[in-house]
Structure 1
């Protein structure tokens, strides 16, 4: 599985401050850490960035590429900043994160993806906002794939479809919709790849519970063919799961999904926590911040 490091983010106290001050050192140190952690891309999330986005992205891309050779994911709603980042990008194929399924976004960004031979995240967020179910996800997916391939000649493997991950403590039903979409994804968009903002599933629960939520969610999505994910570059256990180094934990979570009986008394504390977390994510039990204590 391919991993996109999410940590260089304008919302971070440390890295957001460095971005605003154009302080290269902490950003370069983070880039090196992400490369050493095995990330396949580094996401550069500068936010909307208003009037300074173009200048900031044109500065940031070379700063990161001074110290690592990884391709970069350009993460901003500022179209001029995306264009500036693509122009400055010299190492590998860049990734536009993201293009929503809205006419104004597709018309502005798909030509840039074509011009710079960039990969892009096709975010299944339409004119009416988040899709309500897997069928709306399928319709939005078909729309952007048809437009990118049919009108701009962009190859399917350049497209990374993101069905949108939601927090487990807010919309469990949307998690199940994503899983249903993933089951039909290759039939809808053959040759396209998939990705997801994985950490969104744990956005809201207490910080100490976030890693296990992310890890179990990855196991579930991985089973349904997830190609890549935008992840915390510091979560080593998550990276190991992505690389298939914990088959015993994957097998346990699959048993939960399949509704198999599990003898909880035979499990270690870690294994029991994975089972409990899978039940919460899959809606078998109601979410509460104390689910691991029950």
Structure 2
């Protein structure tokens, strides 16, 4: 699994302050830590950046590339001008940089797709349409067809597109978790050759902190089984990174068994592996989510 590090984000107090004060030190320390933690890409997330994004993005890009020039970047903000200013100064590396994200909304993709093509960037195609979040996998599929067709027309082939079907919190939109899995199963037929990604930690946005790692890791394994190529993840979650890099096949195996309904009796498993089986059952809707589901 390819990992996009999510922590260079304006919502972080330390990073947000560094952005505002144009202090390169915390930004470069974060970038170096993400490299050390095994992140394959670094996501630079400025949020809306309405006032000074067009100045901030190119500055952050240059600051990050001073210390990790070999790691490709995702440029992430709703400010389209800021994205372009970042693309103007970004230095090439072995893999294309990525524009994150282009929504399935004509007023945005008609501007952003030609821009991405001009600078030869990959794109994240976000399945957020005119009505917001799709209701199910079929609406996701319809948006994907529309957005990928527009990207192809703009000169961006499927191989440079990372489709993001949108992850939602399991505690308030449990059914949507399976909808995204169903969409992921359809993606190869809808968009042959396209890559895929997601904001993985959204699934655990709301549940107690101690549940976040197991929810994130379990869902990553489930999505990966159906072809998910990458996830935007927390670099500090070393357990998740170990699974993503193939170091915990025992966890992957028991998650697959739980998905197939062939998991061993929980009493025969270690608590760690039994908790993964319980988490699969919550994500699939076999068991309702509660903050105490691991204790049941």
TM bucket by the smaller chain? Answer: over 0.9
CA 1:80–1:261 in 2, change beyond 3 Å: closer, same or farther? closer
* TM-score computed with the length of structure 1 as normaliser: 0.98
| Structure 1: distance between partners of 2:99 and 2:242 | 26
Q: CA RMSD in A?
A: 0.9
Give the structure 1 partner of residue 27 of structure 2.
27
Tell me if the contact between 1:124 and 1:161 (Cα under 8 Å) persists in the aligned partners.
Answer: yes
Give the structure 2 partner of residue 66 of structure 1.
66
Query: Is the partner of 2:145 in helix, strand or coil?
Result: helix
Tell me if the contact between 2:44 and 2:74 (Cα under 8 Å) persists in the aligned partners.
Answer: yes
| Structure 1: distance between partners of 2:236 and 2:122 | 25
Residue correspondence of structure 1 range 176-187 to structure 2 within 5 A:
176-187=178-189
Give the structure 2 partner of residue 36 of structure 1.
36
Tell me if the contact between 1:65 and 1:91 (Cα under 8 Å) persists in the aligned partners.
Answer: no
Deviation at 1:261?
4.9
Residue correspondence of structure 1 range 11-160 to structure 2 within 5 A:
11-69=11-69, 70-92=71-93, 93-149=96-152, 151-160=153-162
Deviation at 1:91?
3.2
Tell me if the contact between 1:276 and 1:292 (Cα under 8 Å) persists in the aligned partners.
Answer: yes
Deviation at 1:280?
1.0
Give the structure 1 partner of residue 213 of structure 2.
211
Tell me if the contact between 1:121 and 1:160 (Cα under 8 Å) persists in the aligned partners.
Answer: yes
Structure 2: give runs of 5+ residues left out of the alignment.
none
Residue correspondence of structure 1 range 243-282 to structure 2 within 5 A:
243-282=245-284
Tell me if the contact between 2:254 and 2:263 (Cα under 8 Å) persists in the aligned partners.
Answer: no
**1:182-223 deviation per Cα after TM superposition (whole angstroms, max 9, x unaligned):** 111000000100000000000001112111110111111111
Deviation at 1:262?
2.5
Structure 1: give runs of 5+ residues left out of the alignment.
none
| Structure 1: distance between partners of 2:281 and 2:290 | 12
Give the structure 1 partner of residue 171 of structure 2.
169
Tell me if the contact between 2:263 and 2:277 (Cα under 8 Å) persists in the aligned partners.
Answer: no
Deviation at 1:263?
1.0
Q: How many residues align?
A: 293
* Moved segments of 4+, more than 3 Å: none
Tell me if the contact between 2:10 and 2:45 (Cα under 8 Å) persists in the aligned partners.
Answer: yes
| Structure 2: distance between partners of 1:204 and 1:20 | 27
* TM-score computed with the length of structure 2 as normaliser: 0.97
Deviation at 1:246?
1.3
